[in-house]
């Protein structure tokens, strides 16, 4: 697996590179935005770890150019900011995951592996996480071999949670990704639809993380 790490601090870049190489990844690093953008366009990578605070070309600009060009390579953003608004903005801009710095390497490694699994599953039109399988073409869901009828919105919510399996998604993130901007952030619609999924699947499939949001457990 080829991974590109674009990180302003060469010591941090080297630390991530050594850690990933010890896990069997092939890693290239860039400490400058222009170099990172050039590498991302000229070579094939399965995943990019992208710092936002970069000289010459910002991480936001690199992400925007990748998505504008049609690239679907998974991008995990590393950023000093840890506000909900910042995370939502980057996810809406096309990032696949978001970690605040400094981050634990084991968590970064787990996020990388999760994104790569999701990329493989998306390519096959089905996503399987634990007991649950969904088919993106037929819009059908199964749990433990049992077929489950879901409404279009229920399926969209389940798909979003499964794409971020193991990751806590806040209510504003889910409102943005599933319902768009036309919903009041104070609405309890996310809670209501999580309840629908729990009734139709199994209660422990979606976990409530108090004060933070919801996490798919499968």
- Average pLDDT of the segment spanning 68-88: 84
Mean pLDDT of all residues belonging to the chain:
87
Give the C-alpha separation, 77 to 87, whole Å. 9
My answer on whether 144 and 212 are in the same domain is yes
My answer on whether 91 and 154 are in the same domain is no
Domain span at 9? 2-120
For residue range 147-206, list pLDDT tens digits in order. Answer: 999 998 999 899 889 888 888 888 888 887 787 655 566 678 999 999 999 999 999 999
φ and ψ at residue 216, rounded to 5 degrees: -80, 130
Within its chain, how far is the Cα of 125 from the centroid?
A: 17
Share of the chain above pLDDT 90, in %: 47
My answer on whether 82 and 105 are in the same domain is yes
Q: Is the dihedral of CA 105, 91, 52, 62 positive or negative?
A: positive
Give the C-alpha separation, 69 to 41, whole Å. 9
**CATH (domain of 165):** 1.10.10.10
Predicted local confidence at residue 121, as pLDDT: 54
Give the C-alpha separation, 50 to 79, whole Å. 9
My answer on whether 76 and 159 are in the same domain is no
Give the C-alpha separation, 114 to 58, whole Å. 25
For residue range 21-43, list pLDDT tens digits in order. Answer: 998 898 999 999 999 999 988 77
Q: Residue 56, CB half-sphere, CA atoms under 13 Å: how many?
A: 12
Query: Considering the entire predicted model, what is its pTM?
Result: 0.56
My answer on whether 186 and 139 are in the same domain is yes
Number of domains in the chain: 2
Predicted local confidence at residue 136, as pLDDT: 81
Predicted local confidence at residue 115, as pLDDT: 86
**CATH (domain of 92):** 3.40.50.2300
For residue range 100-155, list pLDDT tens digits in order. Answer: 888 889 999 999 998 887 766 555 677 888 899 998 878 889 998 899 999 989 99
Closest C-alpha to 114, from 129, 100, 102, 103: 129
**Domain end (from 120, 150, 185):** 120
Predicted local confidence at residue 184, as pLDDT: 64
User: Where are any strands of DSSP class E within the chain?
Assistant: 2-6, 26-30, 47-51, 75-79, 97-100, 126-129, 132-135, 140-143, 146-148, 206-209, 213-216
My answer on whether 115 and 18 are in the same domain is yes
Can you give the C-alpha Rg of the chain in angstroms?
18
Q: Is the dihedral of CA 89, 83, 33, 54 positive or negative?
A: positive
My answer on whether 16 and 69 are in the same domain is yes
């Amino acid at each position: 697996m080829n991974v590109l790490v674009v990180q302003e601090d060469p010591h941090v870049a080297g630390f991530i590179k050594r850690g990933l190489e010890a896990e069997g990844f092939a890693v290239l690093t860039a400490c400058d935005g222009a170099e990172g953008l050039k590498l991302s366009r000229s070579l094939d990578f399965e995943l990019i770890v992208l710092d936002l605070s970069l000289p010459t070309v910002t991480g936001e600009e690199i992400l925007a150019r990748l998505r504008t060009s049609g690239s679907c390579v998974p991008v995990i953003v590393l950023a000093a900011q840890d506000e909900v608004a910042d995370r939502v903005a980057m996810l809406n801009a096309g990032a696949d995951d978001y970690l605040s710095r400094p981050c634990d390497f084991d968590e970064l490694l787990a996020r990388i592996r999760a994104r790569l699994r999701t990329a493989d599953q998306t390519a096959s039109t089905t996503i399987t996480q634990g007991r649950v399988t969904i088919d993106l073409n037929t819009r059908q869901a199964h749990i433990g071999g049992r077929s489950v009828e879901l409404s279009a919105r229920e399926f969209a919510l389940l798909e979003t949670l499964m794409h971020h399996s193991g990751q806590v998604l806040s209510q504003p993130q889910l409102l943005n990704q599933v319902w768009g901007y036309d919903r009041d952030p104070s609405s309890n619609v996310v809670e209501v639809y999580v309840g629908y999924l729990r009734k139709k699947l199994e209660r422990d499939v979606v976990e409530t993380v108090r004060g933070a949001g919801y996490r798919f457990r499968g």
